[in-house]
Chains A and B, each alone.
Chain A
């Protein structure tokens, strides 16, 4: 079946601009996660959704970052007033949120802030 889909696959933006990254999870997956992967670093947790609510936003690095999820499906990660340190690969994952259900990742959006 279809996996997690992310768009765009690549995004180049100028410092100070806002960007929106989209994630379409696997159908039926109630849990959705955003991670950030910087060069030479591990995956950094950003935010978790269960359904449309976000019980854990603790990983968002600043108030310039926000995310929403609608209809228990598509999620959008928005970064306002982008900075060069925001350059990274942003990965989305979804799961059934039970013990035997692993996270399934999309291929990410590579964001470059110039």
Chain B
């Protein structure tokens, strides 16, 4: 069974204080690892897809990296508007079954001015 564990559950940072969020996963065959951002009352918003170990992707203050067992979302010099819940999900090669994602419970990030 595919499993995704995110840590920490919650993180409070000062504006400008860089940090990293962790996503550990177990999957039979990784098709892709996804990062989403979710604001209160909204659906998840797509950020990145990573496909293979060693891959990195960047968007503004965010950089996602991938190893064979985990992914990190690095946040550099965050601003208050980066406050959100960050969700990690994996998609497995399911051989004809659902292509749905298995999600972690998320990291609730608060950036204080």
Contact = CB atoms under 8 A, between A and B. Distances in A.
A98 B57 CA distance: 19
B42 to A, nearest CB: 5
Given A102-B46, A105-B44, A97 B99 contact: yes
Contacts of B98: 33, 45, 48, 55-56, 58-59
A99 B43 contact: no
Interface residues of B, number: 26
A43 B103 contact: yes
A45 B101 contact: yes
Interface residues of A, number: 27
Given A55-B96, A56-B97, A56-B98, A42 B44 contact: no
A52 interface: no
A100 interface: yes
B31 interface: yes
A102 B49 contact: yes
A31 interface: yes
Contact of B34 (A99, A102, A106): A102
Interface string B70-91: 0000000000000000010100
Nearest to A101: B49
A14 B97 CA distance: 35
A82 B87 CA distance: 28
A42 B105 contact: yes
A45 B102 contact: yes
A60 B42 CA distance: 23
Interface of A: 4, 31, 33, 35, 40-43, 45, 48, 55-56, 58-59, 91, 93, 95, 97, 99-100, 102-108
6 contacts: A42-B4, A42-B87, A43-B101, A56-B98, A56-B100, A93-B43
Given A97-B99, A99-B31, 13 more contacts: A4-B43, A33-B98, A35-B103, A42-B103, A43-B89, A45-B98, A55-B98, A56-B98, A58-B98, A59-B98, A91-B44, A99-B32, A105-B43
